[in-house]
Amino acid sequence: MKNKKNDALELAKYYDSWIDECAQTNSLNTIRSYESAMNLYINFHENVKGLKSSSFSSSSDFSRETIKEWLVWLKNKRGCVPQSCNVRLASIRTYLRYIGEQDIKYRFLLLESKNIHRMKETKKKVNGMSESAVKALMYVPDAVTSTGYRDIVLMAFLYGTAARIDEVLSLKVSDLDLNTDNPHATVIGKGNKIRTLYLPPKLVSHLNKYIKKFHGPEASEDRYLFHSRVKGYQGKISQEAINKRLKKYAAIAHETCPDVPIHLHAHQFRHAKASHLLDDGMNVAQLSKLLGHTNLSSTMAYLDITIDMEAKAMISLEDEKTRNMPRKWSKGKDSLSELFGRKRIK
């Protein structure tokens, strides 16, 4: 008879090596998503089903029915929206694919999980923001104060480069090259992909002034460009803190410019810039590259491009192609959470 404790121990070892391998090719956010999904899955087995590592069985506890039961629990008991449930399902599938590659006896688990239908999602459309709204927002912070000026430069950077908020907050002084004919910033995007962002002249002027003000004439290159006042130069500002300030500015700007979204968040600067560049006639292939999208369809969906606009975009893509053609686990524990290195969820 198979020792179920050894079954759980083997899967825990595979989980550990899976995360280690993923860390070499995936972003920190992706790793956190994987860990969060597994944390919830293991705790579901312990807290809801009352399982111990000694009673854990891969064939039944990673079965199609068990995973479906877990998804219902996520939605009904933990209040997870369909989008979140689907992301967590994808994480579990990725883990099952990995263990199937390590040992053929586990391959059937991935096949079973693929028969689970994704939950129907409600498409969340990013609210648009006009150029007038962007300008109105820039006038709200008090440029005389340090925090106010920092926020102006941060908003200018978000809009001027169409970068993701995490990409901007992760920037260090060394990632900027301002003293060149083509000023640019180097960011690390999704999937640890490196991307170069062109910096407009006005933004370069702001950045030079900002660095001198916040980092001094000889700034240490390992400092975060937009560092935390509490944590110091080596601490990143949290996205939550930035979005909280943006909502404050939006409430004020909305009074003079109704185009400003009341529930403003940092991502809307990126979406606004992309929309404005598209309206100005930027080639959609170039826009997709600027945004750091893996494929053109992502850009189409992101900007809610209509069928007519999509046809024009495909033509512009073909033109672009033509131009570019060459001329820790513990064996003595009987707890699933501890075996998989997970924390208990209360």
The Cα-based distances of 289 to 114, 285, 315 in angstroms read 32, 6, 16
pLDDT at 311 over 60: no
* Residue 85, domain extent: 4-123
Give the closest residue to 146 by CA, choosing from 56, 226, 235: 226
pLDDT in tens, 130-159: 999 999 999 999 999 999 999 999 999 999
Tell me if the pTM is above 0.75.
Answer: no
In a domain, 171, yes or no: yes
Return the SS3 of 232: strand
Residue 329 in any domain: the answer is: no
Domain edge (last residue) among 106, 123, 140:
123
pLDDT(327) > 60: no
Chain centroid to Cα 49, Å, comes to 32
pLDDT top residue among 294 and 68: 68
Distance CA 239, CA 249 (A): 15
Residue 340 belongs to some domain of the structure: no
Tell me the per-residue pLDDT of 165-196, one tens digit each, with 9 for 90 and over.
999 999 999 999 998 889 999 988 877 788 88
Residue type, 52: K
Q: pLDDT at residue 228 above 90?
A: no
Burial class (CB in 10 A: 0-12, 13-18, 19+), 287: buried
Helix extents (H) in 195-335: 201-215, 239-253, 267-279, 284-291, 296-302, 307-324
Number of domains in the chain: 3
pLDDT above 90 for 83: no
Judged by average pLDDT, the poorest of 15-19, 304-308, 332-336 is 304-308
Residues 76, 212 within the same domain: no
pLDDT at 306 over 50: no
Task: Tell me the average pLDDT of the chain.
Answer: 82
Report pLDDT digits (tens) over 92-111. 999 999 999 999 998 999 99
Residue 337 within a domain = no
Query: Which CATH number is 172's domain given?
Result: 1.10.443.10
pLDDT, tens only, 8-64 = 788 888 899 999 998 887 777 788 889 999 999 988 988 888 888 777 777 788 889
Residue 250 lies in a domain: yes
Same domain, 85 and 217: no
Same domain? 113 vs 225? no
